[in-house]
Amino acid sequence: MGWYVIVTDTTRRVIHERLQAERGGELRCAGFRVAVAYPAPYAVAMSSLGYQWVYRLLQHPLGVAPERVFLPDGGDRPGAQVQPAVSYEGLRPLAEFPLIAFSIAYELELASLIKMLEVACIPPRWSERDDRWPLVIAGGPLTFSNPQLLAPFVDAVVVGEAEGILEEVVTVVRAATSREQALRDLAQIPHVFVPVHHGAMLPESAVCAADRLPAVSVIRTEHAELRDMLLIEAERGCARDCAYCVMRRCPGRSMRVVPRQVVLERVPVGEPRVGLVGAAVTDHPEITALVRDLAQRGSAIGLSSLRPDRLDEDLVVALRTGGYRTLTTALDGASERLRARLGRRCHEQHFVRVAELARQHRMARLKLYLMLGVPDETSQDIDECVRFVSELSRILPVALSVAPFCAKRGTPLDGSAYAGVRTITGRIRQLHRGLRGRADVRAASVRWGWVEHVLSQGGVGEAVAVAEAEAAGGSFNDYRTAFERLGWTPQG
């Protein structure tokens, strides 16, 4: 089937400028073509190590010709009109590829996946596609928590960590003579969920062997959110028991540490910016020495997570040498009581010590992440948060980044209710009043937090409701109407 998409001069210019600014990567002009798609704009996608690693795995050892496709800029805004996307490597529309591989990080990206298919004139429901259409598979962090959300729209889901599985998936698709054969053979691969064959029965998440790590980004660019940064795993998984976290310690998926020397060997000497990635990267037993080694090479360092109970003076000094000006860590619960309920090992004295070390080593501020609407939370917990953050602000300027709590599937807090739009909004106002002039408080959307919660707890019905809401215009009111028909309410 031939497809024709008008590529505007503006699109050509933007793609050309971005390709010219990239460092690393390679262009394969021949072979089995795979669209490596991300339902978010270029800047977000190119800051995702998982997305870049899939791009790399398709090239080596498979030798296929992957072409990157992104949601057009601005397309992630609620209700935004989206133009058909074309690949960066070949300016090809999605419908021209035999296989589309989506990487999807979290629930709210489902709407963009649907829109990308629709504007490409590809029926978004797999039940409406036949041999004329590409096979659509998906993987990524969302598959650890709720792959059923993808069930109405994709032909297959790689559940869990893709190393070793992606190669077999592509081999099966290349060899199949029909869609029916491809889906039948994909359904035989462990950890691959094929809705037409498996129904509601989900496989276990795949776990990558430690000897296949680390994942390393292929391309660095100034146009990514993490500008010109080489991303590399220092570890994968987590040994902690935080009750809200999908990546928490669980049987069969332990924390896998990448030896310090392996990381150093994979990072070119002189690399200007290096991001060490992992769910619990500061729990790496050699994290201080690793940061120090990279900083002494002249690299600016970024870490994906900083645990306050691991931030001793040696690590703070190493981070400062590596260019840190702001220490960022998670307060999570608003009070000591809630942090204990969430399984956090961090106490007030840890945060006080972090603030003191940051001031001592001339850092500009402390940034804290906070969840509101945690089960059993009361206004007294918010008062405690105001009191404690005020104390920290007397040591160092504090920025407080607030997000609504959304219970995730497969965690101890699975099934917890959303605290409610009114309730969480009121607590944000309580924080603003109490911390006015003491800390900078910024909050994510409470209403869209409810949408994320519904999807994190929902299934096929809620996924279909996303398509209905987007067809109606994609506003919050459209989502509320679609979800209320299923019995959900945002108030509380």
Region of poorest pLDDT, from 57-61, 111-115, 171-175: 57-61
Q: How far apart are CA 280 and CA 81, in angstroms?
A: 38
Instruction: Give the other-Cβ count within 10 Å of 392's Cβ.
Output: 22
Helices 379-393 and 421-435 pack at an angle, to 10 degrees, of 30
Q: Which one-letter DSSP state was computed for residue 99?
A: E
The confidence band for 369, taking pLDDT boundaries of 50, 70 and 90, is very high
Strand pairing partners for 368? 329, 400
Of the candidates 220, 213, 189, 222, the one whose C-alpha atom is nearest the C-alpha of residue 203 is 189
In order, the DSSP letters of 13-37 are HHHHHHHHH-EE-----SSSEEEEE
Tokens 């005020």 identify what position?
A: 390
Residue type, 169: V
Q: Given this chain, do its domains 9-198 and 229-324 carry the same CATH topology? A: no
Residues in the chain: 492
Q: Where are the alpha helices (DSSP H) in 60-188?
A: 110-119, 142-145, 165-175, 179-186
Of the candidates 428, 406, 476, the one whose C-alpha atom is nearest the C-alpha of residue 142 is 406
Instruction: Give the other-Cβ count within 10 Å of 225's Cβ.
Output: 13
Of the candidates 56, 54, 61, the one whose C-alpha atom is nearest the C-alpha of residue 25 is 56
Topology of domain 326-345+355-442, CATH: Transcription Regulator spoIIAA (3.30.750)
E-strand spans in 324-449?
A: 326-332, 365-372, 398-404, 439-443
Structural domain spans, the chain: 9-198, 229-324, 326-345+355-442, 458-492
C-alpha 259: how far from chain center: 24
Region of poorest pLDDT, from 46-55, 240-249, 447-456: 240-249
In order, the DSSP letters of 110-138 are HHHHHHHHHHTT--SSGGG--TTS-EEEE
Which sign does the torsion angle of CA 123, 128, 130, 135 carry? Answer: positive
Question: Chain-wide mean pLDDT for the chain?
Answer: 94
E-strand spans in 373-456?
A: 398-404, 439-443
Residue 249 predicted with pLDDT over 70: no
pLDDT of residue 3: 58
Give 320-351 pLDDT, tens digit per residue: 999 999 999 999 999 999 999 999 888 999 99
Tell me which CATH code domain 229-324 carries.
Answer: 3.30.750.210
E-strand spans in 254-405?
A: 256-257, 273-277, 300-303, 326-332, 365-372, 398-404
Q: How far apart are CA 349 and CA 399, in angstroms?
A: 18
Residue 10 predicted with pLDDT over 70: yes
Burial of 26 (0-12, 13-18, 19+ CB in 10 A): exposed
Region of poorest pLDDT, from 9-13, 59-63, 91-95, 376-380: 59-63
Sequence-distant (6+) residues with CB within 8 A of 324 are 301, 363
Instruction: Give the other-Cβ count within 10 Å of 41's Cβ.
Output: 18
C-alpha 55: how far from chain center: 16
Averaged pLDDT, 272-299: 96
Of the candidates 210, 260, 211, the one whose C-alpha atom is nearest the C-alpha of residue 234 is 260
Strand pairing partners for 138? 102, 157
Question: Helix, strand or coil for residue 326?
Answer: strand
* Strand pairing category for 365-372 and 65-70: unpaired
Residue 1 predicted with pLDDT over 60: no
Strand pairing partners for 66? 34
C-alpha 418: how far from chain center: 21
pLDDT of residue 481: 97
Burial of 360 (0-12, 13-18, 19+ CB in 10 A): middle
Of the candidates 147, 113, 71, the one whose C-alpha atom is nearest the C-alpha of residue 467 is 113
Tell me which CATH code domain 9-198 carries.
Answer: 3.40.50
**Statement: the pTM of the whole predicted model exceeds 0.85:** yes
pLDDT of residue 453: 97
* Strand pairing category for 365-372 and 398-404: parallel
Averaged pLDDT, 240-264: 85
The confidence band for 184, taking pLDDT boundaries of 50, 70 and 90, is very high
Phi-psi region of 437 (alpha: psi -120 to 50; beta: other; left: phi over 0): left
E-strand spans in 278-430?
A: 300-303, 326-332, 365-372, 398-404
- Cα Rg, the chain, nearest whole Å: 23
Give 83-112 pLDDT, tens digit per residue: 899 999 999 999 999 999 999 999 999 999
